[in-house]
Chains A and B, each alone.
Chain A
């Protein structure tokens, strides 16, 4: 059964950037796209790069290690078979909750 984890306030994540959260040893990258907050598994399937440190353009984040493009909505990774896990985000009173 999925559980909701409280992950701080929206303003904890600067606009257009991502931040890494640790939830039970799991690394989750949470991104502030301005109009919404999205969350994915933080490790790039290519070589384990920390996606929360990547540059965000549109709905994609570019892995800082080797430039793989990861779609923040679908979890699809260009040129990789494996997807990254996408987490559901619930916003309540400016607080971020992650469903996992």
Chain B
């Protein structure tokens, strides 16, 4: 046995930077006697995921990067919940809060940073929290349970993430920011403006130019007062106004500090044998508050500590990703374009909240802001890192088509960081793909942790998969796997099991394949799935349906319902109108309104009266309450219009009769226009038909609601029969392949219009014949619920209000 005693390394700080350095030392087979002190009572956890804990998406244990066993296995002594009080460089020891002295040969300081709390009167009040670490997060969660309104002080990266997480917990969130734009350290004016709009879209209120001066309230906080004289009520306040490096310990030991602990390119401090990494350091005048630089620093520090000072740290390009679900935002490097010879290329579309900016200096990219679409972030990172001359493809730099190949991951080096959040380099990912035979982003994530946090490196990982696997690689869309958390099966597995076990009712599926009870999403979702799989020959369970589908009417805010009778193509008659008027008067209907889909809506009807109204109307259900074929809107076409080129009214009416009563993953709005002037708004319908001189054009996947999208041209046809066939095929395809609650505008984008054309129109494809068969079977089983249930409801008390006897 070798008796020579090992060199002693003491690490102050059990966070991501300190442990990254230790991991690098172990990877370099450094044989040191390592002791780690952590002030927090946890093992090393991923601080980036705190907002996921705050929102309830994950739990603390899931963020642990290194389990206890890891420390034990590698012979590392770990002291958690133990604060180092002093460093004594002259005798090479550190002293902890229990007075214990621990000697070292080499010392690594990785004390991180703390939340900066501005001088506000009353910050010590109950209900006011900083947001920086696990303990803060757990305290905020506990306190938030009794709160409704929360004020977040600080509209930076972390403040916005906290705000979003608290919205997900159901709180009313208002963000107060000191200056006149959000995330001013990462964004310019225009992108700041768009981000504000997006943050408001997610349900937060934003007040700019607000400097908090006092927390109001007796004991507990009840509101916040600002320097402009305004005050707002709040029963909780979260402060996120920046961080400050923890330098006191080093400073008291005589180590040189300014804003941070000063280190050179080898990560050495002013004292020999003492090194520092992470958010506590200042390197070449800069401090960092994000994760990627600390991994680079940790690597260099490990080399220096092991006496291999070949590597140097030359500073990091700063790249910040906003981790707020629903907003994609990356800011890289010199995003403002300050500096000699800088030019900015900008594309901005406030309407769809898209902003792209690339800053050039000479022929090189030095910075970028991407908001709304971050697919190109990997590409810009590489241009900056490799100092690529972009002269030749400057024209397409923002759109990024021509040069994509030239900048693929092949030019990345093994050591290059792919996932900044988790600090995973290309080599690790390539090895995972080769050794574990993983073929998806998720697979890579399971093996390497890459792309498990903010997911902005996903496209880059796809490219690496493509490069390593070649033809074996099939891209998988993120949503495709899951059906609902109530099931461990994917949607496809679920469908296969339902077929093979011949399950016909929702309760059977839930007990045999799911968690037994289901949820408000999967019960209606399964109802649809079963009706589609068994072509309306499933066993109906009304308790799995949303109230609208139980009573075939649309519930309104006061618990009353609306009744929309079917008026094919929007063409009615005096006698029909008279009947509707009579019914409205007889039942004292509070509002009669013409809808956007050319129908008549009777609003404010009591549930008990629904069957009576249906019977009196004697008209079929308009299905305005259901995920089904809603309306076919038409114009007057050749019938009366002097511009019409085809008979859009007749085609619309015939289509509505053909598809009436069919249920779909989400609602289907249709339209037929008699000429390209498009008065029936066919371009923005789920299925839109437009007359042209030679026949009809059929558009699919259009929308003009929360999302606005022009439909994609599926096909142009000559005859009405061909139009019927094309629409039927698309409709049945959507019924079979669409996810529940997926509108056609998402469906068409997910599948891709070219793939849809190939499946439905290619003469070689077997799919059309099969789709036609299924459609016919489903259509045969259609019944009009208003007719059947006004005579005989599913349950005798379906529509009744019940009165109890005293």
Q: Do A and B bind each other?
A: yes
Provide the main secondary structure of the chain B interface.
loop
CB <8 Å contact, B804 and A5? yes
Cβ contact of B801, chosen from A22, A55, A57, A58, cutoff 8 A? A22
CB <8 Å contact, B801 and A17? no
Contacts of B547 in A (CB 8 A): 53-55, 64
A15-B543, A64-B547 known; A55-B802 Cβ under 8 A: no
Contacts of B523 in A (CB 8 A): 55, 57
The reply on A62 being an interface residue by CB < 8 A is yes
Contacts of B640 in A (CB 8 A): none
How distant is the Cα of A11 from the Cα of B453 in the complex, in angstroms? 50
CB <8 Å contact, A55 and B148? no
The reply on B364 being an interface residue by CB < 8 A is no
CB <8 Å contact, A55 and B804? no
The reply on B555 being an interface residue by CB < 8 A is yes
Contacts of A49 in B (CB 8 A): 559
CB <8 Å contact, A57 and B519? yes
The reply on A3 being an interface residue by CB < 8 A is yes
CB <8 Å contact, B801 and A20? yes
**Per-residue contact bits, chain A 41-82, to B (CB 8 Å; 1 contact, 0 not):** 000000111100111111000101101000000000011010
The reply on B546 being an interface residue by CB < 8 A is yes
CB <8 Å contact, B555 and A17? no
CB neighbors of A among B550-564 (8 A): 550, 555, 557-559
CB <8 Å contact, B520 and A21? no
**Per-residue contact bits, chain B 557-578, to A (CB 8 Å; 1 contact, 0 not):** 1110000000000000000000
Q: Which of B517, B542, B547, B801 has the most CB of A within 10 A?
A: B547
CB <8 Å contact, A8 and B169? no
Q: Which of B169, B795, B798, B802 has the most CB of A within 10 A?
A: B802
Smallest Cβ-Cβ distance to B518: which chain A residue: A57
Contacts of B795 in A (CB 8 A): 14
Smallest Cβ-Cβ distance to B516: which chain A residue: A58
The reply on B764 being an interface residue by CB < 8 A is no
**Per-residue contact bits, chain A 30-46, to B (CB 8 Å; 1 contact, 0 not):** 10000000000000000
The reply on B475 being an interface residue by CB < 8 A is no
How distant is the Cα of A65 from the Cα of B171 in the complex, in angstroms? 18
Q: Tally of A-B residue pairs with Cβ under 8 A?
A: 88
Q: Which of B519, B543, B557 has the most CB of A within 10 A?
A: B543
The reply on B2 being an interface residue by CB < 8 A is no
How distant is the Cα of A15 from the Cα of B805 in the complex, in angstroms? 22
The reply on A83 being an interface residue by CB < 8 A is no
Contacts of A54 in B (CB 8 A): 520, 547
CB <8 Å contact, A57 and B517? yes
The reply on B544 being an interface residue by CB < 8 A is yes
CB <8 Å contact, B804 and A81? no
How distant is the Cα of A20 from the Cα of B542 in the complex, in angstroms? 16
Least Cβ–Cβ distance between B730 and chain A, in angstroms: 31
Cβ contact of B169, chosen from A6, A19, A30, A79, cutoff 8 A? A79
Q: Which of B543, B804, B805 has the most CB of A within 10 A?
A: B804
CB <8 Å contact, A6 and B804? yes
CB <8 Å contact, A81 and B146? yes
How distant is the Cα of A8 from the Cα of B171 in the complex, in angstroms? 40
Contacts of B804 in A (CB 8 A): 5-8, 21-23, 28, 98
Contacts of A78 in B (CB 8 A): 170
A5-B805, A14-B543 known; A79-B170 Cβ under 8 A: yes
How distant is the Cα of A50 from the Cα of B558 in the complex, in angstroms? 8
A residues with CB within 8 A of B: 3, 5-8, 12-17, 19-24, 28, 30, 47-50, 53-58, 62, 64-65, 67, 78-79, 81, 98
15 A–B pairs (Cβ distance < 8 Å), ordered by A: A14-B798, A16-B507, A16-B544, A19-B802, A20-B801, A21-B802, A22-B801, A22-B802, A22-B803, A23-B804, A49-B559, A50-B559, A55-B520, A55-B523, A81-B148
B residues with CB within 8 A of A: 146, 148, 169-171, 507, 517-520, 523-524, 541-547, 550, 555, 557-559, 794-798, 800-806
Q: 10 new A-B pairs (CB below 8 Å) besides A21-B802, A57-B517, A98-B804?
A: A7-B804, A8-B804, A14-B798, A19-B797, A21-B804, A22-B801, A23-B806, A55-B543, A57-B520, A58-B517
